[in-house]
Amino acid sequence: MLTITSAKFVGRDAEFQAFKDLIARRILQPEPGAHDVLLLTGHPGIGKSRLLQEFKYHALMKEVGFFMATSHDDDVSSSPFLDIIRRMIHQTLGASGPMVGSQTRRLLAATAIPKTLTQLLEKHRAMLTPFIPEFRGEGHTPEPPRGPAWHKAAFAFLSDTARVIPAVYAVEDLHLADEHTLALFRDLALSSADPSRRLVLVGSTYGDLSPAHALSPLLTQLRAAGRVTDVHLEGLRAIEIAELIRNMLQMDRSTIPLVKRIIQDCGGNPLFIEELMKLLIEERAIYCETTRFKTMLERPDEFRFPVSLAECYVRRLNHLTADARRVLAVLAALRRPVDLNLLAENAGIERARMGELLVEAERRGFIRKQIDEDRVTYKLRHPAMRDAVMSTSLQAGRPSYHGERGLREVLEINKSLFLETSLEALHRRILDGAALLASAERGFLLSRIDGETRVGAIRRFDAEKLLGPAYRDLLDKAKSVSTPQRTVVGGEGADLVRSNPEGLGLRSTMFVPLSAGTENFGALCIDNSLAGAPFQEEDLRLLTEFAEQAALAIRALLRGPAAERAPEPPGRSLESVELAYIREVLRFTGGNLAQASRILDVPYVTLWRKVKKHQLAVK
């Protein structure tokens, strides 16, 4: 499988010009009343992140500092402005700064920005030290970036920096930011005008925020003050899509009808185009011959085109093994960068096997690898992928929704599990979500923590009767369940009165364990009384998949980030797995290094050095 990207930036001329004008009028040749906030809006995958990268390169070439970070909706240990300050620190470290890309490092080398940042950081070091990992001694955990002390320290440093260095602070996915980040963004934007303060704030977000969203009043306030330049990203034009595809893959003339269909159906979304090209390769609609891609399809209609990015992801997930889908499900569930140890523990997969799965997932473009100091972590490549992963069966790779149970409903229930901060609230949310998905009337959740089993949540059962002798068999069965089970009292079509001699009102019941890897956190029992319809096998499958997500949520809450242990050496190194894949690609290309470097998405020189080091056969 190819890692398909377009090295060339395509289109977005008007949007890029808006940023250049803002930099010129606010920083390079300051004008009174010039806007100092740029807001990028657009649908997921439309190209906001790539455009911000181009903004950064332009700013650095003008010797303007560009510092960017991303908001996360669930990581209380970090914040975008903390990441921005940490990137500043890493920019002062030269080649040893792991949070700085090679292109950024080359552009910074031609400026005085790193030297000036060193002086500024030293000046504010005392106030920043409690929150910055790089300033803390080994073994000392930094304080979370919350509260008045953090706000004061960060605001003072970032404002002072903008007086010394012309600066751009960019926050991606601003709609996911917490109240602390939004407060800092607001204060930086609304602070009193200062001729020496050369600062531009950039935010990216979706364009359809509701008035109730926390970001909406802030944007209304900034727009009313005349501070905002709004840039909305639409889909690429047909000629730009054709150029983008040409930069991704060298296409043969036989694919022209297919390319026309892609231009027609993709809505101009660059991420959708990229994922669709991968899907075409995985489903063998196109294939590589020498250096060009050809198609075996006589007509484009022979290929079933996905109607959305989400469907494209779901179909691509179908081509992965159950283990690989489980790894992606853990990343989607934990919703933050995770190291190999924690991934293996949560997925219940050996570390040696986990290394192979991570290399494969990275090669197929599902995950990104991040290097932060001496720690390697992994995360899903794009936030839009999380929805597809969480809506797909971990075992069969089929969508886990049908009929009236819409995809959005399933996603919202799954997401909400990872927002709870107490075990009791999480148990209640799991039980309510299970009852909603299964259209069940009653149920209870058994919790098993540290070997102790107790009833963690009850829904529409009489608590005293449930814990009494009448339902003892029901509780015992829930305690002992190890595999999903569905029962219909008396069998399908049985006489309901004769089937319920004790008058318990049982009609149909499902028992599902709450298991993550090798650990069991209890069980769910969902019941429909005499008035309800009996559960079907599809109900059991849906509940089983939901229980897997619920168990991951329980484990994440119980252990949290502090549970990550020191890495243990895997049985097989990532280098050996990488080398095996290089050999596979070289066999596929017949030893052609130029073609292999494009497939592997690595520079030609890097691949040549690896080939020379390991004495691999090439042309």
Task: Based on the fold, state whether residues 40 and 179 are members of the same structural domain.
Answer: yes
What's the confidence (pLDDT) of residue 602? 74
Report the distance separating Cα 261 and Cα 274, nearest Å. 14
Whether 507 contacts 529, CB under 8 Å: yes
Task: Based on the fold, state whether residues 189 and 298 are members of the same structural domain.
Answer: no
H-helix segments, 560-615: 574-589, 593-600, 604-614
- Residue 524 is inside which H or E element, if any? strand 519-529
- Write down the mean pLDDT value for the chain: 78
What's the confidence (pLDDT) of residue 193? 53
Going by C-alpha positions, the residue among 97, 134, 133, 91 that lies closest to residue 114 is 91
The tens digit of pLDDT for each residue in 91-125 reads 887 655 566 777 888 888 888 898 999 999 999 99
Q: Taking the chain, what is the end-to-end CA distance rounded to the nearest angstrom? A: 22
Task: Based on the fold, state whether residues 341 and 429 are members of the same structural domain.
Answer: no
Does residue 496 lie within any of the structural domains? yes
Q: Residue 607 belongs to a domain with what CATH number?
A: 1.10.10
DSSP at 110:
T
Pick from 52-61, 263-272, 379-388, 553-562: least confident: 553-562
Task: Based on the fold, state whether residues 442 and 378 are members of the same structural domain.
Answer: no
Report the distance separating Cα 425 and Cα 468, nearest Å. 24
H-helix segments, 110-172: 113-123, 125-128, 147-164
Whether 310 contacts 387, CB under 8 Å: yes
Does residue 8 lie within any of the structural domains? no
**pTM for this prediction:** 0.64
What's the confidence (pLDDT) of residue 67? 92
Task: Based on the fold, state whether residues 532 and 465 are members of the same structural domain.
Answer: yes
Does residue 335 lie within any of the structural domains? yes
3-state secondary structure of 286: strand
Q: Residue 476 belongs to a domain with what CATH number?
A: 3.30.450.40
What's the confidence (pLDDT) of residue 407? 41
Task: Based on the fold, state whether residues 258 and 275 are members of the same structural domain.
Answer: yes
- Residue 486 is inside which H or E element, if any? strand 485-488
Q: Report whether pLDDT(450) > 50.
A: yes
The tens digit of pLDDT for each residue in 129-172 reads 999 888 877 667 888 888 899 999 999 999 999 888 889 999 98
Residue at a domain's end among 183, 209, 232: 232
If one compares 362 and 615, the residue with the highest pLDDT of the two is 362
Rounded (5°) CA angle 247-253-259? 60
Report the distance separating Cα 320 and Cα 6, nearest Å. 24
Q: Using only C-alpha atoms, what is the Rg of the chain? A: 27
If one compares 586 and 115, the residue with the highest pLDDT of the two is 115
Does residue 605 lie within any of the structural domains? yes
Task: Based on the fold, state whether residues 578 and 553 are members of the same structural domain.
Answer: no
What's the confidence (pLDDT) of residue 45? 85
Strand partners, 204: 40
Does residue 599 lie within any of the structural domains? yes
If one compares 332 and 238, the residue with the highest pLDDT of the two is 238
Q: Report whether pLDDT(56) > 60.
A: yes
Which pLDDT band, with edges at 50, 70 and 90, does 298 fall under?
confident
What number is the average pLDDT over the span 15-27?
89
Residue at a domain's end among 232, 249, 269: 232
If one compares 143 and 488, the residue with the highest pLDDT of the two is 143
The tens digit of pLDDT for each residue in 195-247 reads 556 788 888 887 667 777 778 888 888 888 888 889 999 999 999 888 888 88
- How many CB atoms neighbour CB 41 within 10 A? 20
If one compares 505 and 484, the residue with the highest pLDDT of the two is 484
Task: Based on the fold, state whether residues 335 and 482 are members of the same structural domain.
Answer: no
Report the distance separating Cα 578 and Cα 376, nearest Å. 16
Task: Based on the fold, state whether residues 296 and 256 are members of the same structural domain.
Answer: yes
- Domain span at residue 357? 315-395
Residue 111 burial (C-beta neighbours within 10 Å; 0-12, 13-18, 19+): middle
Task: Based on the fold, state whether residues 27 and 128 are members of the same structural domain.
Answer: yes
- How many CB atoms neighbour CB 140 within 10 A? 11
Does residue 156 lie within any of the structural domains? yes
What's the confidence (pLDDT) of residue 490? 47
Does residue 413 lie within any of the structural domains? no
Q: Report whether pLDDT(392) > 60.
A: no
Does residue 403 lie within any of the structural domains? no
Q: Residue 388 belongs to a domain with what CATH number?
A: 1.10.10.10
What's the confidence (pLDDT) of residue 157? 94
Task: Based on the fold, state whether residues 146 and 269 are members of the same structural domain.
Answer: no
Residue at a domain's end among 172, 204, 232: 232
Please tell me the total count of domains within the chain.
5
Task: Based on the fold, state whether residues 124 and 18 are members of the same structural domain.
Answer: yes
Pick from 220-224, 337-341, 370-374, 406-410: least confident: 406-410
Q: Residue 178 belongs to a domain with what CATH number?
A: 3.40.50.300
